[in-house]
Amino acid sequence: MPFILRRLLFYVVAAWVALTVNFFIPRAMPGNAVQSVMAKFPNLQPSAYKALEALLGVGHPGSIWSQYVSYLNDIFHFNFGTDVSQYPASVSSLLVQTLPWTIILVGTATVIAFLVGTALGIVAGWRHGGALDRVLPGLMFLQAIPYFFFALILVELLAIKTHVFPTGQGYDNGLIPGWHGDFISSAVYHSLLPAFTIVLTSIAGWMLQMRNVMITTIGEDYVIAAQAKGLHSRRVIFTYAARNALLPQLQGFGLAVGFVISGALVMEIVFSYPGIGLLLLNAVTSNDYPLMQGIFLVITFAVLIANLVVDMIIVVADPRARTREATA
Amino acid sequence: MTAVLPINAKSPALAQEEVRPGRWRRMPAKAKVGAVLLGLFVLAGIIGPFVAPYDPSFQNPAPDLSMHGPYGAHLLGTTQSGQDVLSQLLVGIRLTLELAFFVGLVATALSVLVGVTSAFLGGVWDEVLSLLTNVFLVIPALPLLIVLLGYLQTKGQTATILVLSGLSWPWGARVVRAQTLAIRNRDFISAARETGERTWRIITWEIVPNEVSLIAASFVNTVLYAIGASVALAFIGVTNLNSWSLGTMLYWAQSQQALQLGAWWWFVPPGLAVALIGTGLVLLNTGIDELGNPRLRDAASASKIAGRWLRPADPTPVLGEIANQRGRVAGFLHSFSRSSLLDDTEGSRAR
């Protein structure tokens, strides 16, 4: 079986674990969605309890097994249940509204940070002990700052004090969302500061990791042999050292992507950016359990897909993955 | 375990006359800075609640004390309801550090347990545990934490510690397992086995002591993660908002519009404290790394010979003799992991 197919199967298993955990949490934990709706609307009669149970699907009719099957069936049809705080709306419609904002912003910014950080890491690793190494403690400081705190500082300095950037929101309030120039340029302008936050806080991590792998790779015999042959140093750096150092870096990217996305979601709150993060805040403040769970599943799926893409890149970059496909 | 590198070796007679520099002097500079930085915050965490000038929850009703900037009586200013920011900070550091410390302790214990068990059982059970570890590594923890803590009625310190520990062991388990596999077949372990030592004794007296630096690094990493995660959770509001931690300080500053009202003294101190504690931990960890891997050390340890910087090569690690010894089921399970690429199996040999 080709490497990529095996990985795909692994992600299916991971998704199934996430779905199953998600299924059992509300059944194992105290507190439920019906109670939170009843608390939100105090004028509801106690007789409404049963009706709400049926509507929100939390009354747990039938055996655990039949509940589980119908739950999986619902998820498979992107039915994440009914929202509690914005009551008649379905969770999936809320997710569809907010998901594009987050994917475009966080996706682009993360890829930029990874590429720039890796490039800087190559240079820092090659010129070990050079100028870039001297800024390392500063970078570690940047890396240790929570995304959202960095966002607070940037808003304070660049939006409130100096008005260079807007303080928040995804676009100008006066505009109607759509595919026209005004809206797109406004959306891009509003996303610059959040994107800058993600890039600046996550770049240090990629750079440090790449630098360390580069230093270890440069000590390998084949790199020394390439230098001894008198190859141009650019060729030695990129074709011999960096290409091999890139593989652990890509694997690290796969593992870290969930962490980066989580950080970015919290950051969205600072900017009141109309993405999943703000939705998550609203879900938490209004005890909206179906929405919280829907968001958990969607983020998990996004991270799994990102990991699958990383594996595809590994297949392209690593000959071992291809020879396995040829022979297996 | 640390072998003396030939480049640093001096004749024994010389070494005896020389006063050996203390352990502290021999530590990498980064680790020293990290340890000092961290020490300051730990000190603040210990004595903080006793030296705090005010009760952090006390709301001073004086109208001119609402969001007053820093001055003599309130060194870090006041919040919107007239609470003293410095007192909140001093009390908050303790709660945040306490949570992170216990999460680090519990999660590291779990990861050692899973990692060592996995490596020692070997075969199918190893692969099942590794699969579980990999699955929990790839599922994003923060949203799951929010769902779990969201459902909990009591969002107290203990509950948060348990839930956070329950989700942060996989990183450590991975490295501990890899290291255990690497030293499991070393001579001194075989010798211990030949003398009839029981397995649990070999694990506690031979294996775990040889992984102390790795476990320490894993602990530091988990503490770092726990601080970031708990602060983020509090910032979203999934915590006990009546207690004072660095995260809840940021939550109240954000929800009461400190930013829009220009009260920088309200949100900068807790955020800066998180960042500085984090920097201290990262520096400390880099120092531990450099102790274990001489190639990462600063140019100080390298010598300039004929215009080129040369570094002592690190001892080649003994790794992966076990890779080909998997049974059929175990090999099948293993082939689904990303690290299966690194095996020296048929695929790469066929070339």
Measured between CA atoms, the residue of chain A closest to residue B345 is: A324
The answer to whether B310 faces chain A, any CB pair under 8 Å, is no
Best B282, B311, B337 member to test A by mutation, with max A CBs in 10 Å, is B282
Contacts of B275 in chain A (CB under 8 A): 141, 144-146, 149
Top mean pLDDT of A237-241, B40-44, B286-290 is at B40-44
Residue tagged 């100096």 (tokens): A162
* Spatial distance between the Cα atoms of B116 and B112, rounded to a whole number of angstroms: 6
DSSP letters of A69-112?
HHHHHHHHTT---B-STTTTSBHHHHHHHHHHHHHHHHHHHHHH
Query: Cα distance from A188 to chain B (closest Cα, Å)?
Result: 23
Put simply, the answer to whether A160 touches B278 (Cβ < 8 Å) is: no
Q: Check if B277 contacts A (Cβ < 8 Å).
A: yes
pLDDT of residue A60: 60
Task: Choose between B132 and A33: higher pLDDT.
Answer: B132
Rounded to the nearest angstrom, the minimum Cα separation between B288 and chain A is 14
Q: Do A324 and B347 touch (CB under 8 A)?
A: yes
Query: Looking at beta carbons, which residues of chain B come within 8 Å of A27?
Result: none
pLDDT at B297 > cutoff 60: no
Low-confidence winner among A183-187, B4-8, B123-127, B323-327 (lowest mean pLDDT): B4-8
Mean pLDDT of A237-257: 85
What is the reported pLDDT for B346? 38
Average pLDDT, rounded, for chain A: 80
Q: How far apart are the first and last CA of chain B?
A: 38
A16 at interface of B, judged by CB pairs closer than 8 A: no
Average pLDDT over residues B210-237: 87
Over residues B9-30, the pLDDT tens digits come to 444 444 444 455 566 666 677 7
Report the chain B residue with the minimal C-alpha distance to residue A133.
B298
**Cα–Cα distance for residue pair B236/A281, rounded to 1 Å:** 6
Concatenate the DSSP letters of all residues of A153-182 into one string. HHIIIIIIIS-SS-SSSSS-TTSPPSSSHH
Instruction: Please report which confidence band the pLDDT of residue B184 belongs to, taking 50, 70 and 90 as the band edges.
Output: confident
Pick from A183-197, B129-143, B144-158 the range whose average pLDDT is largest: B129-143
* Number of C-beta neighbours around residue B274 at 10 A: 27
| pLDDT beyond 60 at B312 | no
Residues in chain B closer than 8 A to A304 (CB atoms): 138
Interface check A269 vs B, CB under 8 A: yes
Chain A residues with CB under 8 Å of B313 CB are 219
| Complex prediction ipTM | 0.83
Mean pLDDT of A19-48: 72
pLDDT given for residue B26 in this prediction:
66
Query: DSSP string covering B182-204, please?
Result: HHHTSHHHHHHHHTT--HHHHII
Please say whether the beta carbons of B294 and B273 come within 8 A: no
Gap from A60 CA to chain B (nearest CA, Å) = 17
Provide the shortest C-alpha distance from residue A36 to chain B (in Å). Answer: 11
**In chain B, residues 113-152 whose CB comes closer than 8 Å to chain A:** 131, 134-144, 146-148, 150-152
Provide the 8-state DSSP code for B58. Answer: -
How many contacts does A have with B, using Cβ atoms within 8 A?
Answer: 205
Q: What is the mean pLDDT of the segment spanning A273-297? A: 84
Residue B175 has pLDDT above 90, yes or no: no
pLDDT at position B108: 94
Q: Does A35 touch chain B (CB under 8 A)?
A: no
Q: Give yes or no for B275 touching A (CB within 8 A).
A: yes
C-beta atoms of A320 and B348 within 8 A: yes
Confidence category of residue B112, pLDDT binned at 50, 70, 90: very high
A149 touches chain B (CB under 8 A): yes
For residue B318, the model assigns a pLDDT of 37
Between residues B104 and A79, which one has the greater pLDDT? B104
CB contact under 8 A, A144 and B281: yes
Burial of A147 (0-12, 13-18, 19+ CB in 10 A): buried
Interface residue A254 vs chain B (CB under 8 A): yes
**How many CA atoms does the CB half-sphere of A18 hold within 13 Å?**
31
Rounded distance between C-alpha atoms, residue B295 and residue B314, angstroms: 7
In this structure, how many other beta carbons lie within 10 angstroms of the beta carbon of residue A183? 15
Q: Which of B255, B338, B349 to mutate to test the interface with A (most CBs of A within 10 A)?
A: B338
Q: Which residues, 6+ apart, have CB-to-CB distance to A17 below 8 Å?
A: B135, B136, B139
Which positions in chain A touch B147 (Cβ < 8 Å)?
Answer: 22, 25, 289, 292-293, 296
Query: Which residues of chain A neighbour B268 with C-beta distances below 8 Å?
Result: 153
Taking an 8 Å cut-off on Cβ atoms, the answer to whether A10 and B271 are in contact is no
By CA distance, what is A211's nearest residue in B?
Answer: B296
Q: Residue B223 has what pLDDT? A: 92
CB contact under 8 A, B337 and A10: yes
Nearest CA in chain B to A131: B299
Q: What is the pLDDT of residues A169-222, one digit of tens each?
A: 777 766 676 777 777 777 777 888 888 888 888 888 888 888 888 888 888 888
Percent of chain B with pLDDT over 70: 72
CB contact under 8 A, A137 and B33: yes
Question: How far is it, in rounded angstroms, from Cα A32 to Cα A50?
Answer: 13
Question: How far off is chain A from B59, nearest CA to CA, in Å?
Answer: 24
Most A CBs within 10 Å: which of B30, B146, B310, as the mutation test of the A interface? B146
Other beta carbons less than 10 A from residue A29's beta carbon: 16
- Stretch A149-163: mean pLDDT, rounded? 81
In three-state secondary structure terms, B84 is: strand
Residue B337 above 50 pLDDT?
yes
Band the pLDDT of B322: cuts 50, 70, 90: very low
| Rounded Cα–Cα distance for residues B101 and B96 (Å) | 9
Q: Which residues contact A112 (CB under 8 A, 6 or more apart)?
A: A195, A199
Q: Tell me the residues of chain A between 284 and 303 that have a Cβ less than 8 Å away from chain B.
A: 284-285, 287, 289, 292-293, 295-296, 299-300, 303
Contact call for residues B215 and B112 (beta carbons, < 8 A): yes
Beta bridge partners of B78: B84
Tokens of A12: 């299916």
Given the structure tokens 């519990």, which residue do they identify? Answer: B106
pLDDT band at B210 (very low <50, low <70, confident <90, very high): confident
- Which pLDDT does position A37 carry in this prediction? 62
The structure tokens listed for B242 are 């009546």
